C-alpha cells in the first residue's frame, strides 16, 4: 500500500463516521409530521401547552416556543429553541398545510418565524 491509498482509506473512514453520527443524531430528534388542510393558531398554541412542553418552558428560561413557516413547501415547524445554546431542543412537530387561518396569518404577517409567548 502506498501513501495515497492510505490517505484515501482514512478519508473514507472519516466520511463513514460522519454519516453514522449524522444518522444517530437524526434518530434522536423526535420529528412528527402531520398533514392538515387549514393550520390554525389554536393548533400551534395547543402544541406548546402540552404538559411536558409547558414544564420544560417553565423550568428553562433559555427555551423559546418557536414556529417557523416555509411558504414554498407550505410547512410550519414547531419546536423549542435554546437561545443560549443556539439550537433546537427535543420535540419538533411539522405541519404540512394547504392554508393558514386568518389568526395565524395575522400572527406571521410577513415573517417566517414567530415566538409564542
Looking from the CA of 117 toward its CB, the CA atoms found within 13 Å total 1
Does residue 78 carry a pLDDT above 70?
Answer: yes
pLDDT band for position 11 (cuts 50, 70, 90) = confident
For 93, counting Cβ atoms within 10 Å of its Cβ (0-12 exposed, 13-18 middle, 19+ buried), the class is: buried
Does 19 reside within a domain?
no
Does 39 reside within a domain?
yes
**For the chain, what is the domain count?**
1
Does residue 8 carry a pLDDT above 50?
Answer: yes
Average pLDDT over residues 83-99: 86
Does residue 104 carry a pLDDT above 50?
Answer: yes
Determine the pLDDT at residue 12.
Answer: 63
Determine the pLDDT at residue 25.
Answer: 54
The pLDDT mean for the chain works out to: 83
Does residue 18 carry a pLDDT above 60?
Answer: no
Does 79 reside within a domain?
yes
| Structural domain span for residue 79 | 31-116
Does 18 reside within a domain?
no
Does 40 reside within a domain?
yes
Does 66 reside within a domain?
yes
Using CA atoms, how far apart are residues 99 and 22, in angstroms rounded to an integer? 33
For 79, counting Cβ atoms within 10 Å of its Cβ (0-12 exposed, 13-18 middle, 19+ buried), the class is: buried
Does 111 reside within a domain?
yes
Does 35 reside within a domain?
yes
- pLDDT tens string 21-76: 554 454 555 788 899 999 999 999 999 999 999 999 999 999 999 999 988 889 99
Strand-by-strand arrangement of the 31-39 sheet: 31-39, 87-100, 75-82, 63-70, 113-116
Amino acid at each position: 500500500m502506498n501513501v495515497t491509498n492510505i490517505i484515501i482509506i482514512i478519508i473514507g473512514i472519516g466520511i463513514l463516521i460522519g454519516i453514522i453520527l449524522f444518522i444517530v443524531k437524526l434518530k434522536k430528534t423526535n420529528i412528527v409530521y402531520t398533514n392538515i388542510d387549514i393550520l390554525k393558531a389554536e393548533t400551534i398554541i395547543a402544541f406548546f401547552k402540552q404538559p411536558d412542553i409547558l414544564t420544560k418552558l417553565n423550568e428553562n428560561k433559555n427555551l423559546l416556543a418557536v414556529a417557523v413557516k416555509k411558504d414554498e413547501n407550505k410547512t410550519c415547524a414547531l419546536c423549542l429553541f435554546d437561545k443560549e445554546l443556539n439550537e433546537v431542543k427535543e420535540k419538533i412537530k411539522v405541519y404540512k398545510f394547504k392554508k393558514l387561518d386568518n389568526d395565524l396569518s395575522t400572527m406571521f404577517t410577513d415573517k417566517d418565524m414567530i415566538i409564542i409567548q
